[in-house]
Amino acid sequence: MEHNRISVGLDIGTTKIVAMIGQKNEYGKVEILGIGKSKSLGVHRGVVSNITQTIQSIQQAVQEAEAESGLSIEKVTVGIAGQHIRSIQHSDYITRENSDEVISEHDIDMLINQVHKLVMLPGEEIIHVLPQEYKIDGQAEIKEPIGMYGGRLEASFHVVVGQISSIRNIGRCVQNSGLELDSITLEPLASADSVLSQEEKEAGVALIDIGGGTTDLAIFKDGIIRHTAVIPFGGNVITEDIKGGCSIIEKQAELLKVKFGSTWPGENKDNEIVSIPGLRGREPKEITLKNLSKIIHARVKEIIEQVFVEIKNYDHGDQKNKLIAGIVLTGGGSQLKHLKQLVEYITGMDTRIGYPNEHLAGESDDEIASPLYATAVGLVMDGLKRMERQVEEEMPEVEETEGVSEIEDSETETTEVPEPPKKPTKNFLQSFSDRLKDFLDNAE
């Protein structure tokens, strides 16, 4: 029974750390076997700021997930976000020695490895190289070049870059928690996997993941990732504002935000008041909900406007780039009341709240399908995909997916078996994780 291959996603967030164990069921859907979460103490705006605390939080989350599932966790797929992430567009080409042979996986690997040699700013490292479109001998807009003839293979890439030290710190925390780092994935990509449908990615969509410390953006069009950005504000700054604006402690501010907070001040009557117990014998404080909503509204508006600037930078009025499916909001911050209306009002784009149930098995717990867990579910899916690819590589002729064998029949001349696309990223990510492991081992 080969469905026992499990994958573990570890979402190291600013507010919480989630460990999630999942496997594919016989219908190809993801079944969540166990979940553990702990308060994240050592992470600030998506970046590890205290290694010891982060290790404790990771261990706590992992133990919870292990207890719930009865399985032991060894390898994890980790998400990375934070204000140090940036993305660039880059084009590159290779000239093939033998243009009489069809383009193979090997050519694409060569091209991708060439992009990895790009010189970054000091202290930065490439995390992902994502091919967008290919050109063969000047013929543009080719989605899948494998199996075609041509001398010059060119592609435009979406390159995601992050700080070496931050990436290594995450690796360090994972290793010192007694776990093995399977791979590192950009969090907005993981969230997009679990929340968006293929139709939305084709039509054009912006995914906004509002976390505790950062707000992540991923834009898709024609089924391809086009733009990613991380904005260094999230739900925590809203809590900070409430704390300052109402002169209360953080715990109370967070409770107020979750229970009574709304992003639309107009709907609260002036006489709606919440009474908050005073500290240590002091008088209770009375806070009007209208004021609370005004504070939240001001900060959320600022976050959404910053994200909208990024969306407009991608879109710049070009009809071809139009995001027909609008905006999808996910992450813990997307649960604020009336946020959908506010986002529609600011951006003028269709908006929905994204739940990570796109690929979850039918009988999944409602709690797991909460926007809070979008990233964790996406990381589990990422790990499962990687396993499938490894199995395919080990025994290519046994496990061919149906779609692929159909293509094979229709291609009479070529003997190449077209592999599922998007494999190339694995080779590098694998070697990246290996390099990171070597580095950490040597640093001990």
| pLDDT, tens only, 43-85 | 998 899 999 999 999 999 999 999 999 999 999 999 998 889 9
Q: Could you tell me if residue 4 is inside a domain? A: no
Burial category of 21 from C-beta neighbours within 10 Å (exposed 0-12, middle 13-18, buried 19 and up): buried
300 and 201 belong to one structural domain: yes
Sheet holding 30-39, edge to edge: 30-39, 16-24, 6-12, 75-80, 180-186
Q: Could you tell me if residue 146 is inside a domain? A: yes
Confidence class of residue 282 from pLDDT cuts 50, 70 and 90?
confident
Q: Which domain holds residue 277?
A: 197-357
What pLDDT score does 384 carry? Answer: 93
What pLDDT score does 405 carry? Answer: 41
Say if residue 337's pLDDT is above 50: yes
- Structural domains of the chain, count: 2
Kindly state the tokens that stand for 82.
């934070």
pLDDT per residue as tens digits for the range 402-417: 444 443 443 434 344 4
337 and 218 belong to one structural domain: yes
pLDDT per residue as tens digits for the range 109-157: 999 999 999 989 999 999 999 999 999 999 988 989 999 999 999 999 9
Q: Could you tell me if residue 31 is inside a domain? A: no
CATH number of the domain where residue 216 is located: 3.30.420.40
Q: Could you tell me if residue 183 is inside a domain? A: no
Calculate the average pLDDT of the chain. 87
Q: Could you tell me if residue 414 is inside a domain? A: yes
What pLDDT score does 196 carry? Answer: 95
- Separation CA 154–CA 140 (nearest Å): 9
Average the pLDDT over 194-211 and give the result: 95
Confidence class of residue 398 from pLDDT cuts 50, 70 and 90?
very low
CATH number of the domain where residue 119 is located: 3.30.1490.110
244 and 116 belong to one structural domain: no
- Separation CA 378–CA 100 (nearest Å): 41
| Residue bearing the bigger pLDDT, 434 or 389 | 389
The CA angle 386-391-393, to the nearest 5 degrees, is 95
Say if residue 27's pLDDT is above 50: yes
What pLDDT score does 415 carry? Answer: 41
Contact of 182 with 281, CB cutoff 8 Å: no
- Separation CA 12–CA 58 (nearest Å): 8
- Quick one: three-class SS letters along the chain? CHHHCEEEEEEECCCEEEEEEEEECCCCCEEEEEEEEEECCCEECCEECCHHHHHHHHHHHHHHHHHHHCCCCCEEEEEECCCCCEEEEEEEEEECCCCCCCCCHHHHHHHHHHHHCCCCCCCEEEEEEEEEEEEECCEEEECCCCCCCCCEEEEEEEEEEEEHHHHHHHHHHHHHCCCEEEEEEEHHHHHHHHHCCHHHHHHCEEEEEECCCCEEEEEEECCEEEEEEEECCCHHHHHHHHHHHHCCCHHHHHHHHHHHCECCHHHCCCCCEEEECCCCCCCCEEEEHHHHHHHHHHHHHHHHHHHHHHHHHHHCCCHHHCCCCCEEEECHHHHCECHHHHHHHHHCCCEEECCCCCCECCCCCCCCCCHHHHHHHHHHHHHHHHHHHHHHHHCCCCCCCHHHHHHHHHCCCCCCCCCCCCCHHHHHHHHHHHHHHHHHHHHC
What pLDDT score does 338 carry? Answer: 95
| Residue bearing the bigger pLDDT, 99 or 191 | 191
Q: Could you tell me if residue 362 is inside a domain? A: no
Say if residue 437's pLDDT is above 80: no
Residues of the chain above pLDDT 70, percent: 88
352 and 233 belong to one structural domain: yes
244 and 126 belong to one structural domain: no
- Separation CA 347–CA 122 (nearest Å): 36
Strand-pair partners of 228: 218
Which residues, 6+ apart, have CB-to-CB distance to 217 below 8 Å? 188, 206, 207, 208, 209, 227, 228, 229, 230, 231, 307, 310, 311
Helix orientation angle between 289-315 and 235-246, rounded to the nearest 10 degrees: 150
What pLDDT score does 444 carry? Answer: 54
Strand-pair partners of 44: 47
What pLDDT score does 418 carry? Answer: 43
Say if residue 401's pLDDT is above 70: no
| Residue bearing the bigger pLDDT, 404 or 336 | 336
137 and 222 belong to one structural domain: no
What pLDDT score does 122 carry? Answer: 93
What pLDDT score does 443 carry? Answer: 64
| Residue bearing the bigger pLDDT, 57 or 388 | 57
Say if residue 425's pLDDT is above 90: no
Confidence class of residue 319 from pLDDT cuts 50, 70 and 90?
confident
